[in-house]
Structure 1
Amino acid sequence: MTQVLKINPTLVENGKMINLITRDVSEFEDAIYNITNILRDLSNAVAACCVLYSEIGGITAVTGPIGSGKSLVLKVLTKEYKNVEGDLEVVGSISYVSQEPWLFPSTIKQNILFGSSYDENRYLEVLQVCALLEELRLLTDGDSSIVIDGGANLSKGQKARINLARAVYKERDIYLLDDCLASLDTIVADFVFEQCIKRFLKDKIVILATSSIKYVNRSDNVITLKNGTVQSKKVHSKAPRNAETKNGLTTIRTSRIQDTLRKEFDQHQDLYASSSYMYACCEKAYLLLIGADQIILLIFAIILFLALDDKMTAGKVGLVLSQIFSLTGAQLVFYCMMTRLENQMITVERVLEYTKQKQENKDGLVIEHWPKECEIRFKDVYLSYKSDQDHVLKHLNFSIKNKEKVAIVGSTGSGKTSLISTLIRLYDFEGNIFIDNVDIKTLPMDFLRSKISVIPQEPTIFSGTLRENIDPKGQHSDDDIWKAISTVNLSLFQNLDERIDMNLSICEKQLICVCRALIQRNKIVIFDECNASVDSDTEALIQKVISENFAECTVIAIMHKLRYILDFDLVLVVDKGVIIESGDPSSLLKKKNGMLSNLFKRQ
C-alpha cells in the first residue's frame, strides 16, 4: 500500500497548461525526466515544480544548495504557503519539525507533549530514540526543568532534539523533518537517524530536508532542488512573509492545537478582563459611597440649621451647603487619583525589579592597540551557571598561539559553547583567562567584546536593511561592505539599502554573519558551529574564508562536521566540561580508540 504526496506541476507554454501527476515509482521517474526536458526547452520558463512520491516506511530526502527551497517545500506541504501554481494534495496527517528549534517557556515535558495526552511508554521511548533520556536524568529537575528564554539554558543540540521529540511523540502519518540533525554531533546524529527516523518511524512517511550527503545516501528516495527544477527566487517572491514566529506557528498548526492555545489565551484574557471589571466595579462602588457620604453630610447640616433657626442666616446656610459639595468633590478626586496612582505604581515596581538585578561590571582598564599577538591562555577555569549547580566546565588549562586555528570538538552538551562564553565573559567563571598576558577580568566588558568577532550557532539577523545588518554602527564604507559580500558569494542582494527578508535560509543568514565579522577586522574570531546547518558548498566557502581572509587572525571554531579538521593547527576534544584530548589533528586521528578518531570515522 502506498500514499502519494502530489504537487501537480503546471508549466505554461504559449498559454497552454501541461499537468503531470505521478502515482507510482515508474511514473515518478518518467515525470522527473519529462519535466527536466520541458524546462530545458523553455528558456523563458518562470515556473517551479516539484514531484514527491514516497512509500510508507520510506525516507525521502530533499536536498539542494543554499536557498534552493528545501524548507519552503516542507512548508508548502503543511499548507503554510499557497502553492504558486498547480494543485497540492496531501493524503494523511502531518507532524512538522522546524529548522530552527522552537521552544516555549514551560517545562521540557510540556514542550514535548504540547497538548497531547501523556502516554508513559511512548513518551519514554521517544526520549530514548531522540537521545534525551540520559541527558534529562543529569538535569537537577529532569524533564520538569523550565525552558528559559527560548532555550537559553540548553545547548542547540538539546533544543533540536526536544523539537524533534515533540513532533515524533505525536501519532501522525507523515513526518516533515527540516534539517533536524544538523545541530547534532556525528555520534548523536547517527543514533537519532537510525533509532528515531529509520526504526521508530519505520511505518510512516518521512520527508527529511538535509544538506548532509551521508543521510541523503541512506534515504530511500532523493529529491534534488536546483535551478531548472525549483526556481527558489520565484517561489520566495510570491510566498507571504511573516516574522520570526513563523516556525512556531507552523508547529502549532501541524500539531492541531490551535483550539487548545486559543482556550489558554481566552483564559488569560478572561483573567485580565475580570480584574479590569473588578477595578471598574470598585471605582463605581466608591463613587456611590462618596455620594452617600455627601447625602449624610447634607442631612446633618439641614438638621443643624433647623435646630439653630434663629441664629443662621441664608448666606451662612448657602456657604455651608456649597462647602459640603466642594468637600465631597475634592474628596472624590483625591481618592480616585490615589487609587489610580497606586494601581499604576505596580508597573513602576516591576520596572524597578530589573534595576535590582546583578549588573555586569563594565569597569576596567582600556589598553591601546590591544591585542597585538592574540595569544590566549586558560588557567584553571571552572564555570557553573548557578552557584548551587555542578560545574559545566572543569579544570580547563590550555594555550592558543598567535594566528593559530583551533577546532573545539565534542558531543552535544559537552560544554563547547560554554567554553566560548567564558572568553567573552557572558558568565562569571572561576580561574583566569589571559589574552596577550592580560587577565580579561581586568578589562571593561564592552572593550573586551569589541575586540572579538563571534559568528554564533544561531545566526542573528536584525529587522532592517542589508547595510544595517552587516555594519550596524555605520563605521565602514560601501566598498568594504560590498567586498565582504563578494567574499562570501552572497549574490542574493543588489542594493545595500534593500530590506532583509527575515525568512532567509539558515545558510544565507549565516553568510551575513560572516560578512559582519569580515568588516570588523578583529584579530580574534570565533565560529560557534556555524557550519552545522549549511550545505557542503557553503561549508567549503566558510572554510576558505577562515584559511584566506582570517589567515592573520587567531581563530576558534566549534565543529560538528569534521570534513576540514585537518586544516586546523590544534584540536581540543571536550567531554562533560573537561578537555580529554588535545593536539594536532593528524596525531589525534591516529589514536585507535581516541574520541576524535571515533567521531571522524562516523562522519
Structure 2
Amino acid sequence: MLVGWLLCQRDLEVFLQVIGVIAVAAVIIPWILIPVAPLLAIFLYLRCYFLQTSRDIKRLESTTRSPVFSHLSSTLHGLSTIRAFKVQQAFQQMFDEFQDIHSEAWFLFLTTSRWLAVRVDGICSVFVTTTAFACLYFRDELEPGSVGLALSYAMTLTGMFQWGVRQSAEIENMMTSVERVVEYAELESEAPWETDVRPPYDWPTRGCITFDRVNFSHGSSEPLVLKNLSVVFKPREKVGIVGRTGAGKSSLISALFRLAEPEGRILIDGFLTSEIGLHTLRQRMSIIPQDPVLFTGTVRKNLDPFRQHTDEDLWNALQEVQLKAVVEDLPNKLETVLAESGSNFSVGQRQLVCLARAILRKNRILIIDEATANVDPRTDSLIQQTIRDKFRECTVLTIAHRLNTIIDCDRILVLAAGRIQEYDRPYVLLQNRDGFFHQMVQQTGRAEAASLLHAAKQLGESPWASLTGSFTAHTGFKASEDFLRAELSVTGVAMSMFIYASSSLLGSFNPAVVLRRVPILVLFILVQ
C-alpha cells in the first residue's frame, strides 16, 4: 500500500512538471501547441497499446515466478531427504528449468518496457527539436533569456517524461492486485457469527440430525451437489456414508457445517441450523478431516485452543490415543512449538492429535471425513477402536472409501449424484444383489467381499435383530428394533427380574431358552 501511494505521488509530480514545461514553452512560443496535440495523441495510442500487452506479460511473469519460490521452499524443507537419496542434481535441474521459464517471461517484460521507452524518447525528441526550431524561427521576436528558459525546460522533459510514463504503466499493471482485493471484498459474507437463537449450553444433548428436503451447492452459480436429500440420523447411531467420487459425501458435511447455505431444513435436536450462529453451530460438532489440521503453535494450543481444560485432561486425552509417550519425549512436552503444518509429527500422529482434540471437546456429534485414508494399518485400527470406545454415546458420521472401516456401522447411507440410493443396515443392503452397496463390496475382490459379508452378517445377527425377529414370529406383531429398544429401556428392570424368575423356575439359567422366551415376556410386560 505504501509503495503504491509513493508511486502515485511521484507520478503526480511528474505530470505537473510536464504540464509546467509545456506551459512555459507555450507562453514563450504559443505556436508550439500545434505539434503538441498530435504528439499527445500518438503518446496515448502507444501507451494503450503497451498496457494491453504488458498487463498479460506481467501476469505471466507472476505465474512463472511462483513455481521458483515453491520449489525453493520445498527443497529447503526436504534438504535432508534430498541428500539422503542423493538427488541433488535432479532438484538442481528442476530449479534451472523453473528459473529458465521465469527468465523468459521477465525478459519479455523488460523488452516491452524498453519498447515503450524508445518511442517515448522519440516523442520527447520531436518536442525538443520543434521547440529549438521554433526559437530559431522566431528569434527576432524572442529575448535570449526566454529562448534559454524554453530550451532548458524542454531538455529536462526527455528523461523525466520517460520515467513518469513507465511508472504510470507499472501502476496500471499493479491494479490487477487491487482488482483481486476488490473481488474478495465484494464476496458475499457468511451468515452471522452469533444470532438471537441460542440453544442450551449442553446442546446437542442427544445428537439427532434431520435433513428435510435439502438441496445444496457450493455457490449461487454452481450446480446442485445434493438434491432433495431427506434422512434422519438417530441419536448415538453410527452411520457410514459411502459413494463414488462426486456422489456428494463431503457436500453433506459442508451443508451440515453451513460452509455454504443449503436449501431446505437441517435440524439438530430440534433446532434449525439456519437459525443458529455459525460459531455456536460449528463449535458443538467435532470433525476429524482426511488431512489433519495442526496450527503453528504449542501442542497445548493444538489440543485446547481455548484453554478450557486442565493439564490432566490433556494428558488423559493423549493417553487415550497412545500419544502420551511421544509428547513426553518432546523437549518442552505440552509447551513444545510445532513446526509449520505440524511436520514434527507423522501423518498418523497428526491424525491422532485431531482425535485427541475431539475427545476433549466431548461433543455429541462426530464427523469423520476419511480420517484413516492416509495412515498405516496400526493407526487405522487404533483410531477405529478409540472411536468405538470413547464415542459410544455420540452420533458418528463416517465418510470412507475403504468399506472395512464402516462395515460395522449401525447403518450405511449410499449416495450417488447427490441423491440417496440406499440407507439401511449393512447386512440388509448386502442382501440386495442389485443394490449399489452390494456392487461396491463385490468390486473390492472376492476375499475382501467375503470378509465384509461375514462382518456384516455378524452385525446383522446381533441380539437386537434376533429379538425383533423372534418377537414378530411369536406375536404376529411387526415391531421395529427402535420400538423394542424404547419399550425395554422403560421396563428393563422389571423384565430382567421376570426373566430371572422364569429361568429359576426352569431349574437352571439357559440363555438360549431365555432368549426364545424374550418376545413373549416383552408382550406380557407391554400388556401389563
TM-score range relative to shorter protein:
0.5 to 0.7
Q: Is residue 273 from structure 1 mapped to residue 107 from structure 2 by the alignment? A: yes
Name the residue aligned to 2:172: 342
Residue 335 (structure 1) shift: 3.8
Name the residue aligned to 1:29: none
Residue 527 (structure 1) shift: 0.6
Q: Is residue 521 from structure 1 mapped to residue 362 from structure 2 by the alignment? A: yes
Q: Is residue 499 from structure 1 mapped to residue 333 from structure 2 by the alignment? A: no
Q: Report the CA distance shift for 1:353/1:541 in structure 2 as closer, same or farther (over 3 A).
A: same
Q: Is residue 546 from structure 1 mapped to residue 379 from structure 2 by the alignment? A: no
Question: Is the CA contact 2:255–2:261 (under 8 Å) kept in the aligned structure 1?
Answer: yes
Question: Is the CA contact 2:363–2:394 (under 8 Å) kept in the aligned structure 1?
Answer: yes
Structure 1 CA distance for aligned equivalents of residues 289 and 80 of structure 2: 21
Name the residue aligned to 1:583: 424
Q: Is residue 460 from structure 1 mapped to residue 460 from structure 2 by the alignment? A: no
Structure 1 gaps, min length 5: 1-239
Name the residue aligned to 1:534: 375
Judge which range, 386-395 or 264-273, deviates more. 386-395
Question: Is the CA contact 1:364–1:442 (under 8 Å) kept in the aligned structure 2?
Answer: no
Structure 2 gaps, min length 5: 1-73, 442-448, 453-528
Structure 2 CA distance for aligned equivalents of residues 579 and 395 of structure 1: 9
- What pairs with 1:238-277 in structure 2 (closer than 5 Å)? 243=77, 263=97, 266-277=100-111
Residue in structure 1 matching 2:254, options 388, 410, 421: 421
Residue 482 (structure 1) shift: 3.0
Structure 2 CA distance for aligned equivalents of residues 476 and 276 of structure 1: 58
SS of the residue 2:326 aligns to: coil
Structure 2 CA distance for aligned equivalents of residues 521 and 466 of structure 1: 19
Name the residue aligned to 1:402: 235
Q: Is residue 556 from structure 1 mapped to residue 386 from structure 2 by the alignment? A: no
Q: Report the CA distance shift for 1:308/1:597 in structure 2 as closer, same or farther (over 3 A).
A: closer
Structure 2 CA distance for aligned equivalents of residues 566 and 343 of structure 1: 57
User: How many pairs are equivalent?
Assistant: 358
Aligned residue type for 1:266: D
Q: Deviation string for 1:406-429 (max 9, x for gaps)?
A: 222344543322222221123443
Residue 444 (structure 1) shift: 3.6
Question: Is the CA contact 1:241–1:503 (under 8 Å) kept in the aligned structure 2?
Answer: no
Structure 2 CA distance for aligned equivalents of residues 432 and 518 of structure 1: 29
- What TM-score, normalized to structure 2? 0.56
Q: Is residue 378 from structure 1 mapped to residue 211 from structure 2 by the alignment? A: yes
SS of the residue 1:395 aligns to: strand
Q: Is residue 368 from structure 1 mapped to residue 368 from structure 2 by the alignment? A: no
Q: Report the CA distance shift for 1:387/1:339 in structure 2 as closer, same or farther (over 3 A).
A: closer
Q: Is residue 449 from structure 1 mapped to residue 449 from structure 2 by the alignment? A: no
Q: Deviation string for 1:90-129 (max 9, x for gaps)?
A: xxxxxxxxxxxxxxxxxxxxxxxxxxxxxxxxxxxxxxxx
Q: Deviation string for 1:368-407 (max 9, x for gaps)?
A: 3453333210011233457787644333211123333322
Name the residue aligned to 1:123: none
- What pairs with 1:270-349 in structure 2 (closer than 5 Å)? 270-287=104-121, 289-304=123-138, 306-308=139-141, 312=143, 315-324=145-154, 331=161, 334-349=164-179
Q: Deviation string for 1:483-514 (max 9, x for gaps)?
A: 32222112333223143462744322211221
Residue in structure 2 matching 1:601, options 419, 427, 450: 450
Name the residue aligned to 2:415: 574
Structure 1 CA distance for aligned equivalents of residues 293 and 125 of structure 2: 59
Structure 2 CA distance for aligned equivalents of residues 451 and 277 of structure 1: 58
Residue 463 (structure 1) shift: 4.8
Aligned residue type for 2:176: I
Q: Deviation string for 1:140-167 (max 9, x for gaps)?
A: xxxxxxxxxxxxxxxxxxxxxxxxxxxx
Question: Is the CA contact 1:414–1:577 (under 8 Å) kept in the aligned structure 2?
Answer: yes
Q: Deviation string for 1:452-477 (max 9, x for gaps)?
A: 22111222344554344434556655
Residue 340 (structure 1) shift: 3.3
Structure 2 CA distance for aligned equivalents of residues 307 and 419 of structure 1: 89
Q: Is residue 511 from structure 1 mapped to residue 344 from structure 2 by the alignment? A: no
Structure 2 CA distance for aligned equivalents of residues 247 and 584 of structure 1: 47
- What pairs with 1:4-19 in structure 2 (closer than 5 Å)? none
Name the residue aligned to 1:56: none
Structure 1 CA distance for aligned equivalents of residues 370 and 81 of structure 2: 21
Paired-residue identity, %: 33
Structure 1 CA distance for aligned equivalents of residues 394 and 302 of structure 2: 23
Q: Report the CA distance shift for 1:372/1:302 in structure 2 as closer, same or farther (over 3 A).
A: same
Aligned residue type for 2:255: T
Residue 532 (structure 1) shift: 2.9
Q: Deviation string for 1:300-343 (max 9, x for gaps)?
A: 23543x3136xx3x555555555545666765565454333323
Q: Deviation string for 1:533-555 (max 9, x for gaps)?
A: 33443233223332333344322
| RMSD (CA atoms) | 4.3
Structure number with the bigger relative contact order (C-alpha 8 A, sep ≥ 6) is 1
Q: Deviation string for 1:236-293 (max 9, x for gaps)?
A: xxxx996599999x9xx8xx99979965763453123212332144235424543552
Question: Is the CA contact 1:463–1:502 (under 8 Å) kept in the aligned structure 2?
Answer: no
Aligned residue type for 1:526: I
SS of the residue 1:492 aligns to: helix
Structure 1 CA distance for aligned equivalents of residues 189 and 384 of structure 2: 37
Structure 1 CA distance for aligned equivalents of residues 104 and 75 of structure 2: 31
Question: Is the CA contact 1:470–1:512 (under 8 Å) kept in the aligned structure 2?
Answer: yes
Question: Is the CA contact 1:243–1:503 (under 8 Å) kept in the aligned structure 2?
Answer: no
Q: Report the CA distance shift for 1:484/1:243 in structure 2 as closer, same or farther (over 3 A).
A: farther
Q: Please state which structure has a larger fraction of its residues in strand.
A: 1
Structure 2 CA distance for aligned equivalents of residues 538 and 444 of structure 1: 35
- What pairs with 1:21-420 in structure 2 (closer than 5 Å)? 243=77, 263=97, 266-287=100-121, 289-304=123-138, 306-308=139-141, 312=143, 315-324=145-154, 331=161, 334-362=164-192, 365-370=195-200, 371-373=203-205, 374-385=207-218, 391-420=224-253
Structure 2 CA distance for aligned equivalents of residues 246 and 378 of structure 1: 50
Structure 2 CA distance for aligned equivalents of residues 332 and 594 of structure 1: 74
Structure 2 CA distance for aligned equivalents of residues 243 and 330 of structure 1: 46
Q: Report the CA distance shift for 1:335/1:473 in structure 2 as closer, same or farther (over 3 A).
A: farther
SS of the residue 1:408 aligns to: strand
Q: Please state which structure has a larger fraction of its residues in helix.
A: 2
Judge which range, 288-297 or 339-348, deviates more. 288-297
Structure 1 CA distance for aligned equivalents of residues 355 and 115 of structure 2: 58
